[in-house]
Structures are given as structure tokens and as C-alpha cells.
């Protein structure tokens, strides 16, 4: 049953686990199987080996921001929807490219030689 907002327009939400192998090259990745075109995203990502984590938000106009915990336990803010700093100079970050009919597409950027898997 969809959640309803105060104006009576139905809202849809969907939680789904995704992974990102951090050794993969930069590029676009389409995430599908959500069943509708999203208008906002909340993405929580972490690398369990290092403790790197990020909490990102994107809205319908594709503006986004995040808070991240770095490998050295320092916290910072950024202009990505995902940013995982695995060690000094080694990271994967993503921006929202598009909201699609059945999900969304992120543009990933790899810096240095990060390793591991993000969940």
C-alpha cells in the first residue's frame, strides 16, 4: 500500500541493496528493478573493511549532498551522492546522472587504486 502525502497524491518508496566493487573503472551504472521512476534518493554506502561510509541525498532536480566518514574516522561534507575514501588518495565517488523509468543511473569516478566492495 503506498504511503499518502497530506495532499492526497500517492507516494512510492522502495528499499533495495546494491553493491559496488571499488576496483572497477569510472563510468555510468544503471540501477534497475525499482518498479517506478524515482523523484528522490537516499543512499547509505559503506566499506566494511575500512569503515568508510557515506550518507547521500538527491532530489528531483538532481541536486545532492552528503556527509561522509573517511577511512581515518574524520567526518566531512561533499557534493556527491556517494563518496567512499578507502585510504589517502584512493576513493570511489558518484553523482546522480538520471532518474530512469525503473530506477536511476549514477556516474562513478575512481581515484587512485581503491579496493574492496561497498554495500
The pLDDT value given to residue 64? 74
The pLDDT value given to residue 71? 67
3-state SS assignment for residue 68 = strand
Nearest to 63 by CA among 30, 96, 92: 96
**Residue 12 DSSP class:** -
Q: How far is 90 from 92, CA to CA, in rounded Å?
A: 7
3-7, 8-12, 43-47, 99-103: segment of lowest average pLDDT = 3-7
- The residues spanned by each domain of the chain are 25-118
Q: Which residues contact 1 (CB under 8 A, 6 or more apart)?
A: none
How does pLDDT run across 12-55, given as a tens digit for each residue?
788 889 999 999 999 999 999 999 999 999 999 998 888 888 99
* pTM (two decimals): 0.84
Amino acid at each position: 500500500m503506498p504511503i499518502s502525502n497530506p495532499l492526497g497524491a500517492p507516494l512510492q518508496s522502495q528499499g533495495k541493496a546494491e553493491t559496488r566493487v571499488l576496483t572497477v573503472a569510472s563510468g555510468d551504472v544503471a540501477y534497475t528493478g525499482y518498479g517506478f521512476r524515482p523523484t528522490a534518493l537516499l543512499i547509505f554506502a559503506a566499506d566494511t573493511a575500512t569503515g568508510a561510509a557515506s550518507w547521500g541525498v538527491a532530489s528531483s532536480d538532481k541536486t545532492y549532498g552528503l556527509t561522509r566518514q573517511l577511512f581515518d574516522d574524520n567526518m566531512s561534507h561533499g557534493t556527491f551522492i556517494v563518496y567512499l575514501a578507502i585510504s589517502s588518495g584512493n576513493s570511489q565517488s558518484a553523482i546522480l546522472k538520471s532518474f530512469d523509468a525503473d530506477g536511476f543511473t549514477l556516474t562513478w569516478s575512481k581515484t587512485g587504486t581503491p579496493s574492496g566492495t561497498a554495500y
